[in-house]
Amino acid sequence: MLKNIKRILIANRGEIAVRAIRSVRELGGESIAIYSEADRDSMHQKLADISICIGAPPTEQSYLNIPSILAAVEITNADAIYPGYGFLAENPRFAEICEKSEIKFIGPPSQTIKLTGDKAAAREAAIEAGVPVIPGSPPVKTLKDALKSAKEIGYPVLIKAAAGGGGRGMRVAHNEQELTRLLPIAQREAETSFGDSRVYIEKFILDPKHVEVQILADEYGNVIYLGDRECSIQRRHQKLLEESPSPFITQEIRKKMGDAAVKFAKHVNFIGAGTVEFIVDKQMNFYFIEMNGRIQVEHPVTEMVTGIDIVAWQLKIADGQKLTINQKDINLKGHSIEFRINAENPNTFIPNPGTVEKLYLPGGYGIRVDTHIYQGYKIPPYYDSLVAKLIVWGKDREEAIRRGRRALKEFILKGFDTTIPFHKKILQDKEFLDGSYTTTLVDSKYIKSK
């Protein structure tokens, strides 16, 4: 139960807001939902104890509008803010304002967010912590600097936005000509997306696996890792399906990655729930990519194989409570897969929101659905296309896959295109079935032009 924070404002929307409201209620707290004018009929504002409209549909006028959110805190007398993922979850300025206003920000300290949110700075921190990183450069200021760094590293190279994420500000260059052409494009995209044009050069790992490690850290220096998640089913660097544990890495590598994640988290004074992301090459070498100081969309697969409520622990850690779980208590049981059900064309992955005309959610043993939609709900066109997360569990990967196939067949969602047909195809794909798939699978095999 919560002891020090009781009235928690959920600074988000959609399924993660619904998820947070449920955990707040279970821990004896009071939930406060904020919503935009486009979300007047949203499930999160219906479920919360208190709801308050904070602005017009565009995110900069609502979910990214810090003055409006702080006004909602004052009006409702909230004593904590839960940011979820996206929006202001990793905004160091917002966290710092909360700290100065004596409002508990449910996440890491602002200085930690600032460090981990800067990929170049996080990379340097990983080096300092003794965590393996991909050969790369500090931020490059000129084309000359970029060409020099790329020559030293060796082509192909990856141009990456220092303040980036989600694949924006990222380009692959196979030679000097491509680097010369792509560098200004990546810089402009980084500036547009993040207000920061800095980029750096990194060795491009061909056909990698994307594996991440979930950690929990309290304010007393206790840090544990909750196994790993395989996140290599991606389109244009955006995840579509995740599973835990990874079918590719060995138990020995899993422990080494977990220990590296804990080492990094301690080095940057992390507090809360976070994820340390790695790429793994075919020789089983793993390299630090970044740390996300927030809840991840794919956190349910970790909850399913560990039995640990990660959102509840976010709240309890923010409440000043100590972790009561030790590393030896973490034993992964079975296998879990999460399917992101997006309102997108399943061939082009272009968003196409609409009205939920018919909805039937799958059920039965080992099935979980996290969603904010309901029959008759009109999906706003202003936000992320994620409408539901289907999570399945099985005693092993084979059973989880069979259960996933059954659940996807049961999932009825009419009114617009979704990624359900894509997921059905993936569960028949040979590379997925044998666990050899990499981050290039979807882009090379499943994306079709309009």
Which sequence positions are flagged as catalytic? 294
DSSP E strands in 125-206: the ranges are 157-161, 171-173, 199-203
- The answer to whether 156 and 173 have CB atoms below 8 angstroms apart is yes
**C-alpha span between 412 and 385 (Å, rounded):** 17
- Tokens representing 226 are 């909750």
- The answer to whether 336 and 244 have CB atoms below 8 angstroms apart is yes
Chain centre distance of CA 113: 15
**C-alpha span between 212 and 275 (Å, rounded):** 7
- The answer to whether 440 and 205 have CB atoms below 8 angstroms apart is no
The torsion angle over the Cα atoms of residues 238, 244, 247 and 251, rounded to 10 degrees, is 130
Cα-atom radius of gyration of the chain, to the nearest Å? 21
**AA identity, residue 249:** I
156 upstream amide cis, omega within 30 of 0: yes
- Tokens representing 84 are 């979820």
- The answer to whether 2 and 28 have CB atoms below 8 angstroms apart is yes
Angle among Cα 272, 276, 280 to the nearest 5 degrees reads: 165
Nearest to 223 by CA among 130, 115, 317, 294: 317
The torsion angle over the Cα atoms of residues 93, 94, 99 and 104, rounded to 10 degrees, is -150
245 upstream amide cis, omega within 30 of 0: yes
- Report strand pairing: 209-217 vs 335-342: unpaired
Nearest to 63 by CA among 50, 76, 72, 54: 54
